């Protein structure tokens, strides 16, 4: 019997073939479901030197939110074409590295489910426990038949471990690293979240996050993102980025900077424009109309370019002198925690 096609995986493999030796392409893990093997790929472009800054993109952690994977694949396609002729981009990539994991949860993307093939919500799967009042959506270990199941507390899922390995290998060793994890399904505004998700305590690099926000506001005063700590909206247990950030902080924080960001695309706006989409599997999380999908696939290119420039020229926002950092932290506390 012929296997059902997997368009997102096929597109990723086609891009990798098109890039050829201009990229490094590896299978970092393989998961099995219903007699089929699903690879988890990591693709890197740019310098392989250990001391260059790194910008990484992750998608498909929640399989139902596959628009995140599609945005990353669209960006990869653009980069692939630009590399043929854009000398400035090639110069940038000689001084930095881009890392891509578009399909962290391939079984979930393939099946159209939030969880992986074992019923585990990967963004509730780390050992991090939340502080304060939580709800069912914050994560539960009652049953995989209920949503937001955290899985076995003694061991993280293979997909979550694969993501952590890529972050450890490519981002932890970098002098400056930014991660962008793409999701959809919350609110009518696009949000750019930073830690913490598990607690409302201001995280140690708050001053840098605030400085980056101020720089983005200055450069693109008409942007449409709401930039804030994730805990401003809700608190969860098991967040992978809290887990990785705390791990990084224990090891390297005094010498390096690691900034994990979550791009939460406000899909409720798409639903409000077409309420009947609520009755379709992807309707709450994915722009179903072709013109709307095309708009989302190009919508975030400005943000991606800005982050790339910030990676190469961090002097205006990252690890500023003590006086400026203290002032940024004071303003950040006033803005987000006052």
Model confidence over 209-247: pLDDT tens digits? 999 999 999 999 999 999 999 999 989 999 999 999 999
| pLDDT, average across residues 110-129 | 97
pLDDT at 57: 98
Average pLDDT, the chain: 92
Beta-bridged to residue 193, according to DSSP, are: 228, 262
pLDDT at 274: 64
Q: What is the pTM of this model?
A: 0.94
Asked if pLDDT for residue 276 goes beyond 60, the answer is no
Asked if pLDDT for residue 141 goes beyond 90, the answer is yes
Tell which wins on pLDDT, 320 or 121: 121
Give the CA distances from residue 130 to residues 72, 176, 201, in Å, rounded to whole numbers and listed in that order: 29, 27, 11
- Percentage of the chain with pLDDT > 70? 90
Find all residues with CB under 8 Å of 49, minimum gap 6, and list them: none
pLDDT at 189: 86
Beta-bridged to residue 190, according to DSSP, are: 225
pLDDT at 320: 85
Distance CA 235, CA 94 (A): 39
The pairing of strands 176-184 and 257-265 is parallel
| pLDDT, average across residues 104-120 | 97
For 34, the token pair is: 């219903």
């Amino acid at each position: 019997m012929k296997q059902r096609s997997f368009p997102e995986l096929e597109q990723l493999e086609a891009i990798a073939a098109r890039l050829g030796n201009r990229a490094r392409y590896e299978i970092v893990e393989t998961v099995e479901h219903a007699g089929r093997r699903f690879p988890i790929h990591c693709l890197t472009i740019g310098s392989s030197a250990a001391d260059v800054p790194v910008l990484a993109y992750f998608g498909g952690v929640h399989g139902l939110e596959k628009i995140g994977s599609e945005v990353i694949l669209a960006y990869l396609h653009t980069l692939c074409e630009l590399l043929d002729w854009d000398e400035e981009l090639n110069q940038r990539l000689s001084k930095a590295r881009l890392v891509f994991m578009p399909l962290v949860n391939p079984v979930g993307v393939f099946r159209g489910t939030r969880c992986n093939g074992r019923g585990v919500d990967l963004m509730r799967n780390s050992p991090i426990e939340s502080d304060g009042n939580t709800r069912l959506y914050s994560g539960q270990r009652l049953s995989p038949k209920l949503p937001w199941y955290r899985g076995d507390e003694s061991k993280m899922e293979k997909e979550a471990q694969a993501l952590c390995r890529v972050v450890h290998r490519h981002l932890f060793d970098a002098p400056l690293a930014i991660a962008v994890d793409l999701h959809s399904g919350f609110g009518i505004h696009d949000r750019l979240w930073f830690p913490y998700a598990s607690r409302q305590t201001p995280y140690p690099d708050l001053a840098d996050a605030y400085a980056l926000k101020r720089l983005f506001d200055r450069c693109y005063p008409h942007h449409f993102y709401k930039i804030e700590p994730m805990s401003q909206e809700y608190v969860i247990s098991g967040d992978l980025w809290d887990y990785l950030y705390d791990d990084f902080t224990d090891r390297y924080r005094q010498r390096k900077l690691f900034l994990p960001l979550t791009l939460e695309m406000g899909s409720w706006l798409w639903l409000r424009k077409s309420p009947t989409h609520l009755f379709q599997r992807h309707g709450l999380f994915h722009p179903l109309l072709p013109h709307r999908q095309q708009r989302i696939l190009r919508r975030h290119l400005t943000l991606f370019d800005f982050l790339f420039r910030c990676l190469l020229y961090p002097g205006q926002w990252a690890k500023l002198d003590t006086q400026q950092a203290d002032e940024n932290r004071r303003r950040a506390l006033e803005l987000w925690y006052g």
